[in-house]
Amino acid sequence: MVKSERLKFFRYKQPQLRIDKYKYLHESLINGNVDAAKFGRRIVLLNTFTGGPRYMMNNCKDAFAICRYAGYPSYFITMTYVCTIEFQKRGLPHAHILLFMSIEFKPQTPDDINKHITVKISDENERPNLHGAVQNYMVHGPCGPYNKNSPCMKNGPCSKFYPKEFRQRTLINEVEFFKYRHTDNSRTVNKRECVLYNKFIVAYNPELLLKFGCHINLEYICQTSSIKYLFKYVHKGNDRITTTLYNTGDPSEATQVVDKIRNYYDCRYI
């Protein structure tokens, strides 16, 4: 209801928004409006509306400006907790966070990465709290041979590439995802009546995991692709349908209405 009231504000304040400044030629070409005779009244949704297309696009440009100034981000954190940051069709609300580290703290070697990111099951006797947190929050699946009907299973294998392979050191590859050190320490956790090894553990930071007590995935990155990932949701479309938004008014009318607020409503509810 709050969002509906905010959209009503933008709709009824159109005369005060000076919307003529939005009628740029490049915007018309992007939208496919190449016929000047079809231009008419426009109802716009400003970038001050949180979650709207202009808001997301401006934030994305700001993020790239930060990247140009501070260099590539260093860590990518995905965190589920109670606060409603982003809703998806499946899964809990969660936040995506990028951290830009100063030069002296940027990870440069696999050893630097291993100091902050781990994918191992801790010793239950030495660190029982951490062991319990990993078991409750940082186990993927189970999938594969344990559950072939898991949502992550696509055409046979797991789409998230679990279970991981055991390896003794972290591999840095600028093209693919980073392959963290998965040692076979024979420790196990139980999830859904399955006994799982390090191969099913999601990358995490022990201090953050114990502090917040929720799923908090920490990944090392050194590319701008993570920024695009953060802002792609408003443009990624739907999973199972293809749709077209069109004006249901009389096509013979000289003045057509381009209603960005209506389009936002339609896309959201589709």
pLDDT at residue number 174:
54
Distance CA 141, CA 152 (A): 8
Which of the four pLDDT bands, split at 50, 70 and 90, describes residue 82?
very low
Q: What is the mean pLDDT of residues 240-262?
A: 63
CB 214 within 8 A of CB 79: yes
Residue 104 has pLDDT above 90, yes or no: no
Q: Torsion angle, CA of 35/40/41/44, rounded to 10 degrees?
A: 0
Cβ-based burial of 133 (10 A; exposed 0-12, middle 13-18, buried ≥19): buried
CB 93 within 8 A of CB 79: no
pLDDT tens-digit readout, 188-199: 999 888 899 899
Distance CA 99, CA 257 (A): 42
pLDDT at residue number 99:
87
CB 264 within 8 A of CB 52: yes
CB 150 within 8 A of CB 158: yes
pLDDT tens-digit readout, 123-173: 999 999 999 999 999 999 888 888 888 888 988 889 888 888 888 888 876
pLDDT at residue number 129:
94
Residues 6 or more apart in contact with residue 84 via CB below 8 angstroms: 93
Is beta strand 41-43 parallel, antiparallel or unpaired with respect to 257-259? parallel
Long-range CB pairs of 47-53, under 8 A, 24+ apart, other chains included: 49/6, 49/7, 49/10, 51/3, 51/234, 52/264, 53/234, 53/260, 53/264
pLDDT at residue number 234:
46
Q: What is the mean pLDDT of residues 242-266?
A: 66
pLDDT at residue number 229:
77
Nearest in space to 143 (alpha carbons), one of 161, 166, 121: 161
Model-level pTM?
Answer: 0.61
Cβ-based burial of 243 (10 A; exposed 0-12, middle 13-18, buried ≥19): exposed
Distance CA 23, CA 26 (A): 9
Token pair in block for residue 118? 């781990």
